[in-house]
């Protein structure tokens, strides 16, 4: 069943890709892929230290608010915290509130939270993660209808980006680029496997709609600054699990292979061997909409563990996605790699 679920995800990505490339012959001319020089032979410019303890604290803080489910009090409180942290680190904050229905037809009040460093710089790097957490544990054997902590799925990527924001503020040396961090809302409220649409929701259009990634879909159609673009983007998703491995995800390789190679080369040079030399199939995630609708080339750093036929680790969408299974060494490997990547631009 899970295998089936995943293959339908792949089929969906393939379909989106087909429609896109079929209808749009100049699609490969997006800007970001042009000027990334090979980095393998150059010495790395040393970035400041990414502090995994500080990162972990900001991860735990999110989890301790409770479930970051739209319309919940904990969701509002956590969103306020994220905006306040970015401001405390002297990043310029823009909030983008929006409403969308979920697959059950319920109206969800959400917001994307955007932090900008060096807002006047024209060369910009876009970093993103989703900050909402899943309302159900559909991969668990028990309490499948109860929400999960989302320590890895959601909070980890956000915490890594907050720590990057903190370090850049405190460092004497600064990167040569502008940076935007987007915390996307509503990524993880997609329809579970075998969901049946009922009543007025039972339409063909609803069956075909992507109910995942609502925040990135909204932002890609309504950028916070008209005409906004970036040199390239990096999405972080599930970057905190013990022994997590990061493979080169299919859609990232299609839209931004040079960025993938650069990031993996930097990780390996820093001695992180969890960025593995392996291709993984494309997945539906926030980078899809940034690549296809916003037309900014974005890669996804996302855990890959196909040992049981499921793309992600066995804590994915279960109650085991909790603080106990977070490893600071994984957070450090991703955080230091992304920070060092910014220092090379
Ligand atoms: C789907 O499950 C459709 N895509 C994986 C993206 C995801 C879910 N990331 C975190 N949760
Ligand atoms: Zn998820």
User: Where does ligand 1 bind, in terms of residues with CB under 6 Å?
Assistant: 9, 153, 188, 190, 212, 237, 283-285
pLDDT number for residue 285: 98
pLDDT band at 310 (very low <50, low <70, confident <90, very high): confident
Interatomic CA distance for residues 341 and 263, integer angstroms: 6
> Which pTM does this prediction carry?
0.90
- Ligand 2 midpoint to CA 232 (Å): 24
pLDDT number for residue 307: 87
For residue 120, being part of any structural domain is answered with: yes
If one counts the domains in the chain, the total is 1
CATH classification at residue 70: 3.40.630.10
| Percent share of the chain, pLDDT over 90 | 86
Pairing assessment for the beta strands 92-101 and 107-117 based on DSSP bridges: antiparallel
Which ligand is located closest to the Cα atom of residue 190?
A: 1
For 82-102, write each residue's pLDDT tens digit: 999 999 999 999 999 999 999
Residue 20 has pLDDT above 50, yes or no: no
Q: Which two tokens stand for residue 212?
A: 């995942």
For 225-249, write each residue's pLDDT tens digit: 999 999 999 999 999 999 999 999 9
| Chain-centre distance for alpha carbon 122 | 23
Closest C-alpha residue for ligand 1 atom 8: 188
**b/e map 313-337, b = 16+ CB within 10 Å:** bebbbbbbbeeebbbbebbbbbbbb
* Residues contacting 295, CB < 8 A, separation 6+: 30, 229
Residue 36 has pLDDT above 60, yes or no: no
Closest C-alpha residue for ligand 1 atom 6: 285
Closest C-alpha residue for ligand 1 atom 3: 284
pLDDT number for residue 37: 57
Neighbours of 219 (CB within 10 A): 25
- Ligand 2 midpoint to CA 312 (Å): 10
For residue 326, being part of any structural domain is answered with: yes
For residue 249, being part of any structural domain is answered with: yes
Residue 28 has pLDDT above 50, yes or no: no
| Percent share of the chain, pLDDT over 70 | 89
Mean pLDDT over residues 314-322, rounded? 97
- Ligand 2 midpoint to CA 257 (Å): 25
Residue keyed to tokens 């995630």: 285
For residue 1, being part of any structural domain is answered with: no
Domain assignment of residue 290, given as a range: 6-343
Which of 183, 246, 285, 300 best tests ligand 1's pocket when mutated (most atoms within 8 Å of CB)? Answer: 285
Opening angle at CA 285, ends 281 and 291, nearest 5: 90
For residue 149, being part of any structural domain is answered with: yes
Mean pLDDT over residues 14-43, rounded? 51
For residue 48, being part of any structural domain is answered with: yes
């Amino acid at each position: 069943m899970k295998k089936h679920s995943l293959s339908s995800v792949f089929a969906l990505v393939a379909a989106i890709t087909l429609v896109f490339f079929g209808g749009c012959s100049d699609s490969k001319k997006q800007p970001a892929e042009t000027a990334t020089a090979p980095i393998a032979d150059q010495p790395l410019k040393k970035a400041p230290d990414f502090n995994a303890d500080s990162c972990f604290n900001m991860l735990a803080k999110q989890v301790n608010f409770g479930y970051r489910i739209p319309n919940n009090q904990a969701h509002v409180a956590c969103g306020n915290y994220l905006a306040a942290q970015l401001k405390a680190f002297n990043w310029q904050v823009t909030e983008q509130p929006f409403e969308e229905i979920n697959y059950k037809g319920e109206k969800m009040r959400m917001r994307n939270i955007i932090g900008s460093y060096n807002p006047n710089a024209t060369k910009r790097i876009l970093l993103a993660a989703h900050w909402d957490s899943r309302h159900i544990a559909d991969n668990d054997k028990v309490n499948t209808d109860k929400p999960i902590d989302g320590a890895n799925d959601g909070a980890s990527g956000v915490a890594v980006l907050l720590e990057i924001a903190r370090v850049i503020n405190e460092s004497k040396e600064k990167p040569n680029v502008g940076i935007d961090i987007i915390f996307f809302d509503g990524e993880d409220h997609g329809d579970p496997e075998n969901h049946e649409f009922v009543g007025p929701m039972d339409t063909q259009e609803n069956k075909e709609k992507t109910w995942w990634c609502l925040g990135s879909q909204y932002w890609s159609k309504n950028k916070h600054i008209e005409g906004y673009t970036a040199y390239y983007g990096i999405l972080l998703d599930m970057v905190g699990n013990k022994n997590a491995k990061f493979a080169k995800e299919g859609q990232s390789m299609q839209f931004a292979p040079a960025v993938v190679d650069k990031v993996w080369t930097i990780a390996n040079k820093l001695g992180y061997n969890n960025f593995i030399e392996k291709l993984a199939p494309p997945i539906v995630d926030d980078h899809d909409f940034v690549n296809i609708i916003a037309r900014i080339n974005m890669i996804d750093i996302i855990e890959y563990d196909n040992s049981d036929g499921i793309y992600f680790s066995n804590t994915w969408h279960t109650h085991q996605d909790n603080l106990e299974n977070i490893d600071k060494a994984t957070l450090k490997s991703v955080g230091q790699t992304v920070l060092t990547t910014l220092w090379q631009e």
